[in-house]
Amino acid sequence: MINNHQSLEEISPKIERLIDANLNRLKEGLRVIEDICRYIHNDTQLTPQIKTLRHQLQSAYSINRLQYRNIEGDTQKQSTKSELTRSNLNDLVIANFSRTQESSRVLEESFKLQNIELSELFKQIRYQLYGLEKAYFLSFN
């Protein structure tokens, strides 16, 4: 258990685990949205923007965080009932935009403890995602 007064050095492996999980979540959500734009909508405007955004994440992967991954120890790896059901394509897109926005916020805050430039990158990504979500729904609804 971590107390609020532990040093950054003491909690660093746990921060790395948090970053690893959210980088994966962000990248996976972007891939779902990108593939919907590409394969379902045959889109030529949003698809490349989302792909570019997904590739921007590579700078955050410069540190190998696999050593911090602990799937067996993850107490919340089971899906909730709402995660298992999507009633239409919009639900799927909304869920994945939410996933990416929430993950980018966690990354923005987490990187404030390690790398302010990456923190700023994830802030910019989060705002790009807000704009992409609006553009998606204006284009395809």
Could you count the other beta carbons within 10 Å of the beta carbon of residue 108?
Answer: 19
Residue 76 lies in a domain: no
Predicted confidence (pLDDT) at residue 62 exceeds the cutoff of 90: no
Q: Which structural domain range is residue 99 located in?
A: 13-66+89-140
pLDDT digits (tens, 9 = 90+) for 99-123: 999 999 999 999 999 889 999 999 9
Compute the distance between CA of residue 84 and CA of residue 50 in angstroms, rounded to an integer.
24
Band (pLDDT 50/70/90 cuts) for residue 7 is: low
CA end-to-end span of the chain: 47
Residue 131 lies in a domain: yes
Residue 82 lies in a domain: no
Q: What is the mean pLDDT of the chain?
A: 86
Angle at 111 between CA 62 and CA 37, to 5 degrees: 70
**Number of domains observed in the structure of the chain:** 1
High-pLDDT (> 90) share of the chain, %: 57
